[in-house]
């Protein structure tokens, strides 16, 4: 016989789901304290929310699911979109890395292209790369031992093959790097750098905080876009490397062209921007 949740339980579960969505990851012990119920009750609520497709239970807590994550595409799908633009951006970003440096490299199709570009830099030696991406770590493997690759650890996500909390940020709290190369699903003149996935946004935040210098790599389709997960304000980013679509626009001009308008709006904020040429027929 099925027993419906009481109104009190229903309200509590809605609040739990909202808290998890807001944080990206929430621990059972914290949720129990906030709701003033036992951890056993919280685990029961999380099981119900997971059955409804609202959250996913992970070790020690839960992460959100639903419309936000459903809009996220796998790295295999996104890497083929605007591939030449991403390769050009990646080559420019990899050129910023110097022998002997430490680099934080997060997940995404453009940062995966950066990993391949770093492998192609045969002049690089004694470089330490810290990443939360399994695909990125494997892409860097051919450059061992010129590069030392450190993987953060954490909970595996399938879409990006990324490692997120719990545990993903533990290592990042204890390191200091020369450079962070960060991807994002949105960079907006008002809303800053954002990401569609909350758990990955949290890891990106930690990388930004742990680096002396932050490079944002994002193709033109990400410009003028804002998503739920905040990564950084624009003044926390030292340079945006993007493709040159819209690069001929003067500030405030060509507002009917989204690529040009978004680039002009970002330039007006004072953000340093390098727009790399890609050529005709971007693919």
CATH code, 235: 3.40.50.1360
> 224 and 148 in one domain?
yes
- Amino acid 197: pLDDT: 84
CA-to-CA dists, residue 163 to 83, 133, 137, 157, 209, angstroms: 24, 6, 11, 6, 18
- Are residues 256 and 138 both part of a single domain? yes
Residues 227 and 208 in one domain: yes
> Band of the pLDDT at 208, cuts 50, 70, 90?
very high
Of all residues in the chain, the percent with pLDDT exceeding 90 is 58
What is the distance between the alpha carbons of residues 63 and 198, in angstroms, rounded to a whole number?
A: 9
Backbone angles phi, psi at 243, to 5 degrees: -90, 165
Is residue 1 in some structural domain?
no
Q: Is residue 282 a part of any domain in this protein?
A: no
Cα distances (angstroms) measured from residue 206 to each of 24, 76, 118, 213, 221:
14, 25, 22, 13, 25
| Statement: residue 236 has pLDDT above 70 | yes
Q: Does some domain include residue 237?
A: yes
Same domain assignment for residues 32 and 161:
no
Residue 281 lies in a domain: no
What confidence tens digit (pLDDT) does each residue in 128-180 have? Answer: 999 999 999 999 999 999 999 999 999 887 666 789 888 889 999 999 999 99
| In contact, 169 and 130? CB cutoff 8 Å | no
Q: Rounded to whole angstroms, how far apart are CA atoms 149 and 219?
A: 26
Say how far apart CA 173 and CA 171 lie, in whole Å. 5
Whether 163 and 182 map to the same domain: the answer is: yes
pLDDT at 22: 67
Instruction: Give the number of domains in the chain.
Output: 2
Same domain? 107 vs 145: yes
Structural domain of residue 30, as residue ranges? 7-65
Three-state SS string across 263-276, please? Answer: HHHHHHCCCCEEEE
């Amino acid at each position: 016989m099925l027993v419906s949740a009481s109104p009190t339980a229903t309200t509590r579960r809605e609040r739990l789901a909202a808290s998890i969505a807001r944080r990206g990851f929430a621990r059972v012990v914290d949720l129990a304290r906030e709701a003033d119920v036992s951890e056993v009750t919280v685990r029961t609520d999380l099981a119900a929310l997971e059955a409804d497709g609202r959250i996913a239970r992970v070790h020690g807590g839960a992460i959100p699911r639903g419309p936000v994550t459903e809009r996220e595409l796998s790295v295999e799908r996104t890497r083929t979109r605007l591939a030449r633009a991403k390769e050009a951006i990646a080559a420019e970003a990899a050129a910023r890395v110097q022998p002997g440096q430490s680099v934080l490299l997060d997940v995404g199709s453009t940062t995966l292209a950066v990993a391949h570009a770093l492998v192609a830099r045969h002049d690089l030696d004694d470089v330490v790369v810290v990443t939360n991406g399994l695909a990125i770590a494997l892409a860097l493997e051919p450059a061992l031992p010129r590069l030392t690759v450190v993987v953060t650890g954490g909970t595996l996500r399938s879409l990006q093959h990324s490692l997120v909390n719990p545990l993903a940020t533990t290592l990042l709290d204890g390191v200091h790097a020369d450079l962070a190369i960060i991807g994002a699903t949105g960079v907006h003149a008002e809303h800053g750098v954002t990401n569609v996935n909350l758990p990955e946004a949290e890891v990106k935040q930690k990388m930004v905080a742990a680096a002396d210098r932050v490079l944002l790599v994002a193709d033109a389709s990400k410009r003028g876009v804002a998503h739920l997960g905040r990564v950084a304000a624009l003044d926390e980013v030292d340079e945006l490397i993007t493709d040159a679509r819209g690069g001929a626009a003067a500030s405030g001009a060509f507002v009917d062209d989204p690529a040009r308008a978004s680039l002009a709006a970002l330039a007006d904020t004072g953000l340093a921007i390098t727009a790399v040429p890609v050529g005709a027929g971007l693919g």
